[in-house]
């Protein structure tokens, strides 16, 4: 990813180890290593981890401006997640794609995999652009 577009991690992302690793028009990829504190009582990643990665990848996928000086922000209006499998590996990768929208809202979908290629979850979302960003 071009370092000009790399944003400083916000505190929640830094806390869980989530990082934006690729970003371009209509696409974003977020990754994070699994850690003990991200697991639920069954020893699997907590569903909130899946949601955070999918939501973030989808949100960034719709906010590309192509200009590192012009940041576009958005708010999640709806988030739908299908939990499909458990990771076989130790690293999660979410890839989001903008699928449509207009001037004030956009739609996106994302897939969450681990480094082995196992599909862990899928999501769809509706997002609203923030004015003045």
pLDDT digits (tens, 9 = 90+) for 97-127: 999 999 999 999 999 999 999 999 999 999 9
Tokens 């989001």 sit on residue: 96
Q: State how many domains the chain has.
A: 1
CATH number at residue 69: 3.10.129.10
> Does 46 score more than 90 pLDDT?
yes
Residue 7 has pLDDT above 90, yes or no: no
The answer to whether residue 6 is domain-embedded is no
Alpha helices in 1-133 (DSSP H): 11-16, 47-61
pLDDT in the model for residue 133 = 65
- Domain limits for position 60: 11-129
The pLDDT mean for the chain works out to 95
Q: Describe the strand order of the beta sheet including 119-129 as a list of residue ranges.
A: 19-24, 27-33, 91-101, 105-114, 119-129, 74-83
| pTM (global) more than 0.75 | yes
Whether residue 111 lies inside any domain: the answer is yes
Give the whole-angstrom CA distance, residue 80 versus residue 71. 26
Is residue 15, in this structure, part of any structural domain at all? yes
Any domain includes 112: yes
Supply the pLDDT for residue 71.
92
Task: List the one residue out of 77, 120, 127, 130 whose CA is nearest residue 95.
Answer: 120
């Amino acid at each position: 990813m071009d370092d000009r577009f790399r944003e400083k991690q916000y505190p929640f992302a830094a806390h869980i180890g989530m990082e934006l690793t690729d970003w371009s028009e209509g696409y974003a990829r977020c990754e994070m290593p699994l850690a003990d504190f991200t697991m639920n009582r069954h020893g699997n990643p907590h569903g909130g981890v899946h949601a955070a990665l999918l939501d973030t990848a989808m949100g960034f996928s719709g906010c590309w401006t192509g200009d590192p000086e012009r940041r576009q922000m958005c708010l999640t209006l709806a988030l739908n997640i299908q939990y499909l499998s458990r990771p076989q590996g130790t690293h999660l990768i979410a890839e989001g794609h903008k699928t449509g929208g207009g001037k004030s809202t956009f739609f996106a979908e994302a897939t969450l995999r681990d480094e082995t290629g196992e599909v862990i979850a899928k999501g769809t979302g509706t997002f609203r652009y923030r004015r003045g960003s």
